[in-house]
Amino acid sequence: MSVNIVIIDYGMGNLRSVQKAFEKVGFSAIITRDFLQIQKASHIVLPGVGAFGDAMTNLNNLGLVELLNTQVLEYKKPFLGICLGMQLLAKKGYEFGEHDGLGWIDANVVRFKDDNLKIPHVGWNNVDFHNPSVLFQGIPDHSDFYFVHSYYFDAPSTYAIGYCNYGVKFVCAIQKENIFATQFHPEKSQIHGLKIIENFANFTKETQC
Amino acid sequence: MLKHRLIPCVLLKDWQLVKSVQFGSFRTIGHPTATVRVYNARNVDELIVLDIDASLKGEPINTEIITDMANECFMPLTIGGGIKTIEDVYAVLGAGADKISINSQAIKNPYFIKEIATIFGSQCIVCSIDIKKIDGQYRVFNKKEGLLDIDPLTLAKEYERQGAGEILLTSVDLEGTTLGYDIELLKLFTDSLHIPIIINGGMGVPHHGIEALQNGADALAAAYIFHFTQYTPQMIKEELKKSNYPVRVS
Share of chain B above pLDDT 70, in %: 100
**Which positions ≥6 away from A156 have C-beta within 8 Å?**
A106, A107
Q: Where are the domains of chain A?
A: 5-208
Q: Is residue B195 part of a domain?
A: yes
ipTM above 0.85, yes or no: yes
**Smallest CA–CA separation between B159 and chain A, in Å?**
14
CA proximity to A18, closest of A54, A45, A56, A50: A45
pLDDT of residue A209 exceeding 80, the answer is no
Average pLDDT over residues A67-82: 97
What is the C-alpha separation between B227 and B241, in angstroms, rounded? 22
Q: How confident is the model at residue A139 (pLDDT cuts 50, 70, 90)?
A: very high
- Measured at the alpha carbon of residue B209, what is the angle toward residues B151 and A169, in degrees to the nearest 5? 90
Q: Is residue B100 part of a domain?
A: yes
- Measured at the alpha carbon of residue A147, what is the angle toward residues A144 and A151, in degrees to the nearest 5? 135
The per-residue pLDDT of chain B, averaged, comes to 94
Buried b (16+ CB within 10 A) or exposed e, B99-138: bbbbbbbbbeebebbbebbebbbbbbbbbbbbbbbeeeeb
Residue B14 annotated among the catalytic residues of the structure: no
Which residues in chain A have their CB less than 8 angstroms from residue B98's CB?
14, 17, 148, 188
CA proximity to A149, closest of A182, A168, A122: A122
pLDDT of residue A203 exceeding 60, the answer is yes
Q: Is residue B194 part of a domain?
A: yes
Asked if A166's CB is within 8 angstroms of B2's CB, the reply is yes
What is the C-alpha separation between B79 and B99, in angstroms, rounded? 6
Q: Is residue B83 part of a domain?
A: yes
Q: How confident is the model at residue A19 (pLDDT cuts 50, 70, 90)?
A: very high
The answer as to CATH 3.40.50.2300 being correct for domain A5-208 is: no
Detail the DSSP E strand segments found in B84-164.
99-102, 125-134, 137-142, 146-147
Does residue B206 have a cis bond before it (omega within 30 degrees)?
Answer: no
Alpha carbon B235 to chain centroid distance?
21
| Any B CB within 8 A of A184 CB | no
At B13 the three-state DSSP class reads strand
Partnered with residue B102 across adjacent β-strands are: B127
**Smallest CA–CA separation between A74 and chain B, in Å?**
32
Asked if B3's CB is within 8 angstroms of A124's CB, the reply is yes
What is the C-alpha separation between B49 and B57, in angstroms, rounded? 16
Average pLDDT over residues A172-179: 98
Q: Is residue B247 part of a domain?
A: no
Please state, as a whole number, how many other Cβ atoms lie within 10 Å of the Cβ of residue B163.
19
**Choosing from B130, B173, B182, B218, which is the catalytic residue?**
B130
Instruction: Report the pLDDT value the prediction gives residue A208, as an integer from 0 to 100.
Output: 53
Of A128-137, A198-207, B1-10, B103-112, the range with the lowest mean pLDDT is: A198-207
Asked if A190's CB is within 8 angstroms of B74's CB, the reply is yes
Which of A88, A144, A184 is best to mutate for the B interface (most B CBs within 10 A)? Answer: A144
| Any B CB within 8 A of A146 CB | yes
The packing angle between helices A15-24 and B63-70, to 10°, is: 40
| Any B CB within 8 A of A40 CB | no
Interface of B with A (CB under 8 A): 1-5, 40, 43, 45-46, 70-71, 74-76, 93-96, 98, 118-124, 165-166, 194-196, 218-219, 248, 250
Q: How confident is the model at residue B143 (pLDDT cuts 50, 70, 90)?
A: confident
What is the C-alpha separation between A87 and A172, in angstroms, rounded? 10
User: What CATH number has the domain bearing residue B57?
Assistant: 3.20.20.70
Per the structure, the complete domain to which residue B29 belongs is given by 5-242
Q: Is residue B250 part of a domain?
A: no
Of the partner residues B2, B93, B98, the one whose CB lies closest to the CB of residue A125 = B2
CA proximity to B123, closest of A80, A128, A118, A171: A118
Asked if B76's CB is within 8 angstroms of A119's CB, the reply is no
Specify the number of domains making up chain B.
Answer: 1
Share of chain A above pLDDT 90, in %: 84
